[in-house]
């Protein structure tokens, strides 16, 4: 099992290039981000080459952040802005070698918002498909993002089915899904064919995964047993110094190493 550092929450006291370097030094296998657009793509691409880390994905812009917006693609009447945000994300992703783009829905509700979101996702998938990119949608819980259009995996499946594009996938954030729906193990098993990326954080405080109500050792093992081999996104709030929050990562690395060496020892005894 490998992990990706979400730099929207981790090492936020550093520039994006320095946060990538910190993730590499900490032992992450990949990185991902939220809104990297203030950093020139050439700088990000250079540090990705320097560290050898892939950038897994990024988000479309939120819109007017001062006004509290959190995405544009489900907002009727904002289709032109939504398309610009999608095109910008595709261009940036291509420049840094990222393969996945989370298209943010925004605060909206009702049938018109649904139709708007589906239309913008079809456009996003068409544009992304030209370059072999995957579009992601992510349900957010209504405690952290009250009024957000997309809130459950069932709603996400309905939209994915309606858009009917092979490069549209579900971002399965264990934190959001646990808050809204629970039953993580079964949902992971049932939704695996639609999942394009998995993220995690503790519940209910959205901190590191070694505390709270979710047994992430079990969840990580379940994901591995299902054959999902992509790095899992550590999208949690460290509550202070990021490096001080990484005990879970070091523990998992030790356990994985012991498991590998144990297998070798067992085979040598059999011989």
235 is annotated as an active-site residue: yes
Tokens of 53: 């880390």
**Which segments of the chain are extended strands (E)?**
3-6, 30-32, 57-59, 100-102, 134-137, 168-173, 195-200, 232-234
**Using CA atoms, how far apart are residues 28 and 39, in angstroms rounded to an integer?**
21
**Using CA atoms, how far apart are residues 92 and 97, in angstroms rounded to an integer?**
8
88 is annotated as an active-site residue: no
Query: Does residue 156 contact residue 115 with C-beta atoms inside 8 Å?
Result: no
Non-local (6+) Cβ contacts of 44 within 8 A are 16, 17, 20, 36, 55, 95, 96
DSSP 113: H
Among 32, 181, 213, 235, the active-site one is 235
Among 43, 112, 126, 138, the active-site one is 138
Q: Which residues are catalytic?
A: 138, 235
């Amino acid at each position: 099992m490998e992990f990706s550092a979400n730099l929207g929450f981790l090492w936020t006291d550093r520039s994006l290039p320095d946060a990538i370097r910190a993730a590499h030094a900490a032992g992450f296998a990949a990185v991902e981000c939220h809104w990297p657009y203030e950093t020139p793509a050439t700088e990000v691409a250079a540090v990705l080459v320097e560290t050898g880390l892939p950038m897994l994905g990024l988000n479309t812009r939120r819109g007017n952040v001062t006004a509290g917006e959190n995405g544009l693609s489900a907002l009727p009447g904002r289709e032109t802005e939504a398309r610009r945000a999608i095109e910008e994300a595709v261009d940036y992703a291509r420049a840094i070698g990222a393969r996945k783009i989370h298209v943010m829905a925004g605060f909206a509700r009702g049938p018109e918002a649904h139709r708007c979101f589906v239309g913008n996702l079809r456009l996003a998938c068409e544009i992304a498909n030209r370059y072999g990119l995957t579009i992601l949608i992510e349900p957010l819980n209504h405690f952290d993002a009250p009024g957000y259009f997309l809130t459950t995996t069932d709603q996400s499946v309905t939209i994915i089915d309606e858009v009917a594009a092979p490069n549209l996938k579900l971002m399965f954030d264990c934190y959001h899904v646990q808050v809204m729906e629970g039953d993580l193990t079964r949902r992971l098993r049932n939704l695996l064919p639609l999942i394009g990326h998995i993220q995690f954080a503790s519940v209910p405080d959205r901190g590191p995964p070694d505390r709270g109500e979710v047994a992430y050792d079990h969840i990580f093992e379940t994901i591995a047993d299902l054959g999902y081999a992509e790095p899992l996104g550590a999208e949690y709030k460290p509550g202070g110094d990021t490096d001080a929050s990484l005990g879970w990562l070091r523990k998992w690395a030790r356990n994985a190493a012991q498991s590998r060496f144990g297998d070798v020892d067992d085979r040598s005894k059999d011989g």
